[in-house]
Structure 1
Amino acid sequence: MTKALNTQSASAAGSEISFETRNLIVFDADCIICSGFARFMARHDRRAQYKFVNAHSPIGRDLYLRFGLDADRMETNIVIYNEQAFTRMASFTTAMKSLGWPWKAFAVLDLLPRQFADWLYDRIAQNRYRFGRRSCPLPTDNLRGRLLD
């Protein structure tokens, strides 16, 4: 699922986010895989083009609802890049491509049929808490400094 943003901002709990100036990654901070992805992105995003939002926060929940996703199940990261929202496998490949080489090589996953790629992503997402829910290390200083909430 890829959705273009309809408006230039979203608000939640009195906060306003401008999508004209930010690329965002909305991630489940209780998931060791999702938070690991966020830490990876913060470490390798040398241009600091992304800000990060905990999916459990009011802004994160608002964004899930805004894109027609279940804000309680949080079965996908949301990557907002160049004013478009990407979910499931497209969220991963979009983020990797934005980092440049060598991470851009993950674009090869875009060659998989979308239905199969999303099925694979869903299998990982459905089992992600088996790997250690709430056992995520604290965010790095780099990630903490780029969290919106």
Structure 2
Amino acid sequence: MNIILFDGECHFCDASVQFIIKRDRNKYFKFASIQSDIGKKLLKEFQVPETVDSLVFIEGKQCYVKSTAALKVARRLDGPWSLFYPFLFIPSFLRDAIYDIVAKNRYKLGKQNECKIPTKEELERFIN
């Protein structure tokens, strides 16, 4: 199970999902909104508060949040994005401080009630 949970009401988060889909040729990732039933179930299963202000990445039986999740995802993307993976060696409190600034300001890009309509192929990658 390689699932990315994202905030389904956030333009920045939706853009991030679209970014990942375009760079995940091997279709390693599946996606679910944190607000969905499966998203809430997975948050509970992995003991992540529903108020989480982060991308959540579930890889196998491990759950990652904030900068660790982002870097673990980057490692699997096509192109140069895997070059960011070594940043995991920076202490998480420093990485997460930067992540928190971005997360705190993401709604300034706008909240959304609608998302891009995914293609049939993209739709197969979303879990309901």
Which TM class, normalised by the smaller chain length?
Answer: 0.7 to 0.9
Secondary structure at the counterpart of residue 148 of structure 1: coil
Counterpart-to-counterpart distance in 1, 2:97 and 2:127: 30
* Number of residue-to-residue matches in the alignment: 127
Q: Deviations over 1:19-76 (max 9, x none)?
A: xxx31111111111111111111111111111111111011012222333221x3301
Q: Which ranges of 4 or more aligned residues in structure 1 deviate by more than 4 Å?
A: none
Which region of structure 1 is more displaced relative to structure 2, 109-118 or 42-51? Answer: 109-118
Q: Pick closer, same or farther for the CA change 1:42–1:100 going to 2, 3 Å.
A: closer
Identify, as 1 or 2, the structure richer in helix.
2
Distance in 2 (alpha carbons) for counterparts of 1:43 and 1:103? 12
SS of residue matched to 2:9: coil
The structure 2 residue matched to 1:40, chosen from 19, 35, 55, is 19
Amino acid at match of 2:14: S
Tell which deviates more after alignment, 61-70 or 25-34: 61-70
In structure 2, relative to structure 1, the CA distance for the partners of 1:31 and 1:117 (3 Å cut) is: same
Which residue does the alignment assign to 2:31?
52
Give the alignment of 1:13-32 within 5 angstroms.
22-32=1-11
Contact 2:23 2:79 in 1 (8 A): no
Q: Which residue of 1 aligns with 2:66?
A: 88
Sequence identity (%): 25
Aligned position for 1:109: 87
How large is the Cα RMSD of the aligned pairs?
1.8
1:66-77 correspondence runs (5 A): 66-71=45-50, 73-77=51-55
The alpha carbon displacement at 1:128 in A equals 1.3
CA distance in structure 2 between the partners assigned to 1:36 and 1:109 by the alignment: 22
**1:3: which partner in 2?**
none
CA contact (8 A) 2:24 2:78 kept: no
Question: TM-score when scaled to structure 2?
Answer: 0.87
Higher strand share: 1
Q: Counterparts of 1:101 and 1:75 in 2: how far apart (Å)?
A: 27
